Amino acid sequence: MIEVFPDQESLSRATAELFAAEAGRAEAAHGRFAVLLAGGETPRRTYELLAEEPLRHRVPWGRVHIFWGDERCVPPEDPRSNVRMARRALLDRVPVPAGQIHPIAGDLPPRQAAAAYEAALRAFFGPELPRFDLVLLGLGADGHTASLFPCSLALDERERWTAVTQRANEEIKRITVTAPLLNRAALVVFLVTGAEKAAVLQEVLESSPEPHRHPAQLVKPAHGAVRWLVDRAAARLLRPGL
Ligand SMILES: O=C1O[C@H](COP(=O)(O)O)[C@@H](O)[C@H](O)[C@H]1O
Residue 137 alpha carbon to ligand 1 centre in Å: 8
Give me the pLDDT at residue 118, please. 98
CA of 201 relative to ligand 1 center, distance in Å: 14
Question: Does 138 contact ligand 1 (Cβ within 6 A)?
Answer: yes
Q: 40: Cβ below 6 Å to ligand 1?
A: yes
Q: Could you state, in chain order, the average pLDDT of each consecutive group of 10 residues for the chain (242 residues)?
A: 97 98 98 98 98 97 98 97 98 98 98 98 97 98 97 96 95 97 98 98 96 97 97 95 73
The pLDDT of residue 12 is: 98
* CB 38 near ligand 1, within 6 Å: yes
Identify whether 240 is part of a domain: no
Domain of residue 193, CATH code = 3.40.50.1360
Residue 233 forms part of a structural domain: no
Whether 169 is covered by a domain: the verdict is yes
Query: 14: CA distance to ligand 1 center in Å?
Result: 19
When divided into structural domains, the chain yields a total of 1
Please state, in angstroms and as integers, the Cα–Cα distance from residue 165 to each residue in 6, 110, 212, 229, following that order: 34, 9, 14, 26
Is 242 inside any structural domain? Answer: no
Q: Is residue 120 part of a domain?
A: yes
Q: Using CA atoms of 105, 108, 114, 120 in order, give the dihedral in degrees to the nearest 10.
A: -50
Q: Which atom of ligand 1 is nearest to the CA of 41?
A: 8
pLDDT for the residue 159: 95
Q: Return the best residue to mutate from 12, 35, 82, 219 for the ligand 1 pocket (most ligand atoms within 8 A of CB).
A: 82
Nearest CA to ligand 1 atom 6: 40
Q: What pLDDT score does 7 carry? A: 97
Residue 31 resides in a domain: yes
pLDDT reported for residue 4: 98
Task: Give domain status of residue 66, yes or no.
Answer: yes
What is the reported pLDDT for 18? 98
d(CA 168, CA 87): 27
Q: If you take atom 2 of ligand 1, which residue's CA is the nearest one?
A: 40
Domain of 146 in residue numbering reads as: 8-222
The pLDDT value recorded for residue 240 is 82
Give a yes or no: residue 206 inside a domain. Answer: yes
Residue 241, pLDDT score: 75
